[in-house]
Every structure is written in structure tokens, then in C-alpha cells.
Chain A
Amino acid sequence: MGLTLTVDGPRWRDHLRAYADAAPGLVPVVKGNGYGFTPGRLARRSEWLGVDTIAVGTYEELPEVASRFDGSLLVLTPWRPFLPDLDPALASRVIHTVGRVDDVDALLTRQPGARMVLELLTSMRRHGFAPRGLWEAAGHLRRHPGARLEGLALHLPLAQGSHLGEVRRHLNDAVGAGLDGLDTVWVSHLTRDELTTLRSSYADFTIRPRAGTDLWLGDRGALSVTATVLDVHEVDRGDSFGYRGRTVPKSGHLLVVSGGTAHGIGLEAPMGDSSIKARASTLARGGLDAVGFVRSPFSIDGKQRLFAEPPHMQASMLFLPAGARVPDVGDQIDVRVRYTATTFDTITVS
């Protein structure tokens, strides 16, 4: 009865199915906290979707998904020589991402038949080859006949105008490298229209879109997050409470609800929204902070309530001013969370 994610199963599955049907070659991304669902659950869901490959973020994440999904496992973080050897049982299922010339030889020396995608440095500037590095890598690959080149990987920034120009430039670089057997491109963050255009002008390539957020969280209406009211205390102005012995500014109720820092509640994770409006609301929250209380992500009857003090590890204390409806112990209240930073106590899929 803690922090609970309730999933409208039929609606969620319909969305997943529709998304996968519209995105041939889809590679579901199953990394980190599994977008709140846990990676294991998403691995099983991917098996149900019938895809042949899923992507994880790191090598450490492989064991949790490998037993729940039977297909290929693409690791998004580039392979590095300091990584331990793979579990031999997984070796043939794992597709490595390689982004440095030295790593091509190092990986193939350790695992001569390794499957790999070559990542190109995009405008993200995160990992990957510059064009000349790719030319060199092509030469190295030719010296390792056992290597299995599974394609080219592009990790694009979130859309700011069209990505197609950049994708074309990278594909040109890849063609220039003269990579034997290069016929697949793994991409993220392309719109439907961009994918359609790409599939037509690069019909000689297989385009494999990677998707995480848009796939798993694409229909927010199918998801609801609730916390449980654990205790309720009536307070008067001036009463002291909490770890730090703060005093209540006016009469009302203190609510103890499930959900704390251990769940990811109360972390000031950036919302990925940098509009003026979003920045103004950040400022407004700061204003409340000056008064003493901070707006919480918990809401009762549609109204967001204030934290009475910073969240605890597994519970939070809210202040409810006099006049508001007071929920009972055991009631569920709504919580707004950032899914990629939240751990739920219970996940219920109908």
C-alpha cells in the first residue's frame, strides 16, 4: 500500500500494439528503472510485442532482462576495454555499440565473433566515430572476418526542426567508409514523417527505430500514480512538528502519505521543459519555498498540496489548511511523478 502505479492494461497494450505496428523494425528501449515499470516487466512486454531485439542502457542491466526476453540485446552504452567479459550464455545474443577505432580491435580480440553496431558522433556529441574514424574502423573490421556488423547507430538529440539533414550526412559518411555488409541503421527520436521519408530514400537500408518514452509512456491516460494516506493529524497555528521542530503557520491538518526520497519523490529532476511558462512556475515554487512550504507533487481533489517538510525516505508530510476536505487513513491520493526517476512499491496492470 505504498506508492502505486496503476496501469489500464487494455488501453496500455492497445497503445503498445499500435505503436509497434506503425514502427516496423521497432527496438524497444528497456533501460534504467524501466520508465517506472521495471526493466524486467518491459522485457516480458517486448516478448509479447514480438520484436526481435530490445535495447538496454548498460551491461549491468543485461541479467535482469535476458531471462525474460529471448531475442537480441542491444547495449546502448559503448563497449569499453575495462568492461568484464560477457556471460558466455549471452555472448551470441548481445549486440555491442562501438564508437572508437581502438575498441573495434580490442573487442574483437576478446570476442572474435562479436556482434556490433558502429555509433556515429551526432550533434549530441556524446559518443561515437567522426567520419574519418569510421573509415579507419572499416579497415579494422575487414581484418576480423568473424565480426558481425549489425549496422550503424545514431543517437540524435530531441527534435529541433528536422533531423533528416543530419541523418543524411551521417549516412553519407557511412557509405564513404565502404563498410562491408552495412545495411541497417538504428536511430532514435525521429518523427513518423521523418522515418517514412528515410525509408523511401534509403530503401536499400533497414531502418530500426529505437523508442523508450514514446512507446512505454506514450499514452499517459492509461497510467495513474497514487500514494496512500498513512496518518492524519489535526494541528493549530504554532504547533510544532517534524524532524526540525517547525511550527504550523495556521490551523489545519498534517498528512503523512507514502512516497519519499527512496521512491524519487521530492527530487528536483528537470522536467525537460524549458518554456517561459515552465520557468515562471519554477520561480513561483521558489517563492513558496521562501515562505517555508514547498509545493508537493501530491494532490487531493485536484489541488496540489504543500510539503510540510522535505520528504522523508519512504513517506512525505503534507500540510492541509483548515477548510479543505480531509482524506481518511487508507485513502489514495494522486501523485505527479517523473516516471524515469520513480520507483513504485506496487505496479498493478489490469
Chain B
Amino acid sequence: MTYDVRATTPAEHLAYVDAQRAASFLQTPAWGQVKAEWRRESIGWFRAGSDEQVGAALVLYRQLPKVKRYLAYLPEGPLLDWTTDDLGALLRPLAAHLKAQGAFGVRIGPPVVTRRWDAAAIKAGIADPACRRLGDLAPTDRDAAGARVVSQLTELGWRPQAVEGGFAAGQPRHVFQVPLRHPDGTARTEDQVLAGMNQLWRRNIKKAAKAGVAVRQAQGPIGDADLKAFHDLYVHTAARDHFTPRPLGYFRTMVDALGAESPDRLRLWFAHHEGDLVAATIAIRVGAHAWYSYGASSTDKRDVRGSNAVQWAMLQDALAAGADVYDLRGITDTLDADDPHAGLIQFKVGTGGEAVEYAGEWDLPLHRPLYKAFTVYMSRRG
């Protein structure tokens, strides 16, 4: 089977995304508007000589300093049939198309899972001092389809990118997810999801309800007042937890772009206690995949457990929407109890979900000298 890759309109791209069970929100046309500093292009795969679309991607062209050549970046994409045994047939026309667009290299992030660790395994790993990283711990499940993708990418000359560093640090390879379906495909109930959480989580959710924490959501066109309320709390959180906040304008663009694509693509969630905002989050959903994307919490009134209340509300909402998975996004792979990041993983483990490893990001050099220059530049910058 041979395929053609060509540029499509954002509308065709969106139609393809909407027809899928799930896709990364980083592969929606709207995400290209959020990353406005890079040239963007929607592309599609078509069976050779026909209009039957079998894949789609958002390409972000990131320019090499001083040269009109680009790294073509497909974050958490492309959206393809990754179970094929002939990945080369899909990736070769992609490379040819991107090269014609001036790319010196391609970076993809196949949305395929290679390994999973359930909450019990991670808990045991954190307790074991000999176990420092997720990779030291035998997974609860190894995914054959994911392993095949890795084998094929290696065979096709793609290069795995290190988890640390890289272009804008790349997308996280390890994420934490709460499955919302049983292995047989039937949906889990709220009670079942709740029962999977650890005691602390359940207690905190109950505590918030008892204290009278009120959770509400804003969806569709989101007003300035709501966005400002979220952002103020987020800036407060950044100061407390020592990270650099993104400006209000970034969220304005994100909320507008994603919101315009679909009314339930993005929601803001707020938890109030006696009129005070104690927690606020952004949730995103594409098809059956729901994400907890950004979160903020007040320093006062931590004992009313607004964060747990808002998480539980988002989980319930994802269940009600028929989602397959509730995704808490990136975790580092550390299991070292002394590492400050271990706290984050412990918080997420409390949801009773699983750590999921994706195939990671892979590069294909298209112009070797420029690609080499780029990697040298990135390693110096890093």
C-alpha cells in the first residue's frame, strides 16, 4: 500500500480528528494557533491516488537560527494507524513532504504506549530504596503494539530522543492516567473509580464536600472575568511552588482557539469555599481522552481540600462524557523518595491510576549537516 501526504485545510484536519476515538490535543488544528510563534501546517495521509484520508497531523515548523530551514515538529503525533507492520509506507511520504517544505529534520511523538505500571507497583517501587526510576521496576504490562513501533522506528533510521532536555524539553514520555473503562471495554462507575483511589484521596474528597466546597465549571466562550480569576490563582501558585507562570495572554489564546473548535474541548473549573476561590483548573477533552491540564490552588484554606474536590468533579465529568481515560499529564520517571518530584507522582498515584510510558520522541534527520548543527546547538543551549 502506498500513501500520499499533502497539506489540508484546518477544517479537513479537524474533521479527521473528530472522526477518531481519541487524539492528543497537541494534534488539533487549534493547538497550532496556541503555538503562534511557529509556522504551522495541517497535513493528511491519503491512499495513493484517492481522497480517502487515513491520517492527519499538525506540523509546527521551528526555525533554525539564521537559516531558513526548520525542524518539523509533530507533538504527540502524527495521528495514524500505529498498529501497522509497514510504518515505513506512512513515514516515508511524510519525510518527503516535510523536506520539500524546508525541514532539515522531523520530530514525532508516536501516541503509542510501551509500558504501564499500576498504582500498587509504583507504591512498592517508591518504598524500595534500590528502585530509583520507573525503568528499574518491572512494568505491570508491556504493550506489544508499542514495542513494534519502537522496533520499526529503529529499523527505519529514526533516533530516539533522550527524555531530559531536548527542544523545549519535548513532551513528557511518562504520564499518569486513570482508566475509565474496564479491560473488557465497559465503563467504570463513579463508585468504582472512587474505590480505586487511596484512602487519603477518598477522605479528602469527603472532607471538601462536608466543608461545603462548591465546584463550578465554565465552558464554551470563556469570559475575561473567569479567565482572570483562574490566572490570578495560577500566578499565586507559581510564586509558592517556584515555577515560571505563563502570561494571561497565552491562556486567552488557548481558551479561544480550543474553545472555538468544540464547545467541550476546554473547560475551566473553580472550587469555592464560602466565596473564596480555593482551586482552579483547566480540563481538555478530545474524543474519549480527557486531560487535567493546568491547576492552581490557594495557600489559605488548604484544609478544605479544594484541589481534591475539583479533581473529583473533573473525573466525574469525564466519566459522564463517556471518556476512556482521565489523563493527569506528565510525571518524571523518578521513584526516589528523596527526589522532590516523587511527591508529584505520589499525589497522582493516590488516584489509583497507572503510570504510562509512551514510545517517546523520535527524530529523523533530513539534512545531516544541518541536523548535526542543530543537535550541537541544542546541547550547548541546554
Contacts from A to B (Cβ < 8 Å): 131-132, 135, 169, 172-178, 197, 200-204
Contacts and interface: CB of A to CB of B under 8 A. Distances in A.
B144 A202 contact: no
- A132, A172, A177 interface centre (most CB from chain B within 10 Å): A172
Interface of B: 85, 114, 130-131, 135-139, 142-151, 154-155
Contacts of A197: 136
Given A176-B144, A178-B144, A131 B135 contact: no
Given A169-B154, A176-B150, A200 B131 contact: yes
Nearest to B130: A200
22 contacts: A132-B85, A132-B155, A135-B148, A169-B154, A172-B114, A172-B147, A172-B151, A173-B147, A173-B151, A174-B147, A175-B147, A176-B145, A176-B146, A176-B147, A176-B149, A177-B144, A200-B131, A200-B136, A200-B137, A201-B135, A202-B138, A204-B142
A201 to B, nearest CB: 5
Contact of B139 (A132, A169, A174, A204): A204
Contacts of B150: 172, 176
B131 A131 contact: no
Contacts of B114: 172
B144 A175 contact: yes
Which 10 A-B residue pairs are closest in the complex by CB-CB distance? A203-B138, A176-B147, A176-B148, A178-B144, A175-B147, A204-B138, A131-B151, A176-B151, A175-B142, A173-B151
A132 B154 CA distance: 12
A131 B156 CA distance: 12
Contacts of B142: 175, 204
B138 A201 contact: yes
Contacts, number: 44
A169 B147 CA distance: 9
A201 B132 CA distance: 11
Nearest to B154: A169
Contacts of A176: 144-151
A215 to B, nearest CB: 26
A313 B330 CA distance: 71
A201 B214 CA distance: 44
Nearest to B359: A172
- B131, B137, B138, B151 interface centre (most CB from chain A within 10 Å): B151
Q: Chain B interface mostly helix, strand, loop or mixed?
A: helix
- A131, A175, A200, A202 interface centre (most CB from chain B within 10 Å): A175
A201 B136 contact: yes
A175 to B, nearest CB: 4
Nearest to B142: A175
Nearest to B149: A176
Nearest to B131: A200
Contacts of B139: 204
Contacts of B147: 172-176
A201 B137 contact: yes
A174 B114 CA distance: 13
B194 to A, nearest CB: 30
A144 B148 CA distance: 23
Contacts of A173: 147, 151
Given A132-B155, A200-B137, 19 more contacts: A132-B85, A135-B85, A169-B154, A172-B147, A172-B151, A173-B147, A175-B143, A176-B146, A176-B149, A177-B144, A178-B144, A197-B136, A200-B130, A200-B131, A200-B136, A200-B138, A201-B135, A203-B137, A204-B139
A131 B85 CA distance: 11
A132 B155 CA distance: 10
Contacts of A169: 154
A92 B130 CA distance: 40
A169 B151 CA distance: 8
B126 to A, nearest CB: 15
A64 B61 CA distance: 67
A138 to B, nearest CB: 9
Nearest to B138: A203
B213 to A, nearest CB: 42
Contacts of A172: 114, 147, 150-151
A176 B82 CA distance: 13
A306 B120 CA distance: 69
A173 B149 CA distance: 9
A172 B146 CA distance: 9
B335 to A, nearest CB: 11
- B85, B136, B142, B145 interface centre (most CB from chain A within 10 Å): B142
A65 to B, nearest CB: 34
A111 to B, nearest CB: 28
A137 to B, nearest CB: 14
A118 to B, nearest CB: 15
A83 to B, nearest CB: 30
A135 B148 CA distance: 9
Nearest to A169: B154
Contacts of B85: 132, 135
B112 to A, nearest CB: 11
A202 B135 CA distance: 9
Nearest to B85: A135
A207 to B, nearest CB: 12
A277 to B, nearest CB: 37
A163 to B, nearest CB: 16
Nearest to A199: B138
Contacts of B130: 200
Nearest to B132: A200
A135 B85 CA distance: 10
Nearest to A136: B85
A301 B146 CA distance: 64
Contacts of A135: 85, 148
A172 B151 CA distance: 7
A169 B159 CA distance: 13
A123 to B, nearest CB: 13
A183 to B, nearest CB: 11
